[in-house]
Amino acid sequence: MSDPVLHLKTVVDGMFGENTYLAHLNGRPDCLVVDPGFEYGQIISQLQDLGWTPAGILNTHGHADHIAGNRALKEQWPDCPLIVGAADANKLTDAMENLSRPFGLDVLSPPADRVVRHGDRIEAAGFELEVCEVPGHSAGHVVYLWKASDPWLAFVGDVIFQGSIGRTDFPDGNADQLLGCIRSRLYTLPDETQLLPGHGPATTVGNEKRHNPFVRG
């Protein structure tokens, strides 16, 4: 039996440059939506044009630019579960905690249908994802790791970027915690593991171990 073929679409938010990922396996009617941002109209239009029905809305963390589309997607597909790390669940419904109020936006999301912790697994749309807690940018930041692909694939949110790392100067940020978790939970993955960040281009574990000036392997 051949391996499933991944179709991955990216919708980039023009305000914050945030990446929303639409992940679909060939031959299925459903998909995953990771970190729906402010371009939720475009996200919904793409899903409808492609004929994909979301089977899971996955938030890597609860900051406004990564959850702004939650409400619109839940209104369109109310039975689709909304998933977030347990320690960031409060951010979905609190505009101060998700950092939108200081921008005058007051972004509010429906509450999570499921909260996840380190080691949990998510099965939806043909994917089986492993949850890795990587706090430091936010207290409940999680990474969603898919090991069935070759190479492995990780939706890393704002933990690490090509040549950079997530900010740690937010109220629940912690630089030492973030760097330690990158080393222990990301840099221990195979070097060829693809990292899909919340902002900017994709990279790999090996590339960041060799070249990231903030945290070398």
Quick: pLDDT tens for 33-81: 999 999 999 999 999 999 999 999 999 999 999 999 999 999 999 999 9
Residue at 1 is within a domain: no
pLDDT of residue 32: 99
pLDDT of residue 99: 97
Residue at 124 is within a domain: yes
Question: How many whole angstroms separate alpha carbon 194 and alpha carbon 12?
Answer: 18
Domain of 28?
A: 6-211
Q: What CATH number did the domain enclosing 175 receive? A: 3.60.15.10
Helix, strand or coil for residue 128? Answer: strand
Q: What is the CA radius of gyration of the chain?
A: 16
Residue at 80 is within a domain: yes
pLDDT tens, position by position, for the chain (217 residues)?
456 799 999 999 999 999 999 999 999 999 999 999 999 999 999 999 999 999 999 999 999 999 999 999 999 999 999 999 999 999 999 999 999 999 899 999 999 999 999 999 999 999 999 999 999 999 999 999 999 999 999 999 999 999 999 999 999 999 999 999 999 999 999 999 999 999 999 999 999 999 999 998 7
Residue at 23 is within a domain: yes
Q: Check: CB of residue 64 under 8 Å from CB of residue 99.
A: yes
Please list, in sequence order, all residues whose beta carbon lies within 8 angstroms of the beta carbon of residue 106, skipping any fewer than 6 positions away: 95, 100
pLDDT of residue 2: 54
Residue at 216 is within a domain: no
pLDDT of residue 101: 96
Domain total of the chain: 1
Question: Starting at the edge strand that comes first in sequence, how are the strands of the sheet with 153-157 ordered?
Answer: 121-124, 127-133, 142-146, 153-157, 194-197, 203-204
Residue at 86 is within a domain: yes
Tokens of 62: 């609860």
Helical (H) or strand (E) element with 86: none
Q: Check: CB of residue 13 under 8 Å from CB of residue 20.
A: yes
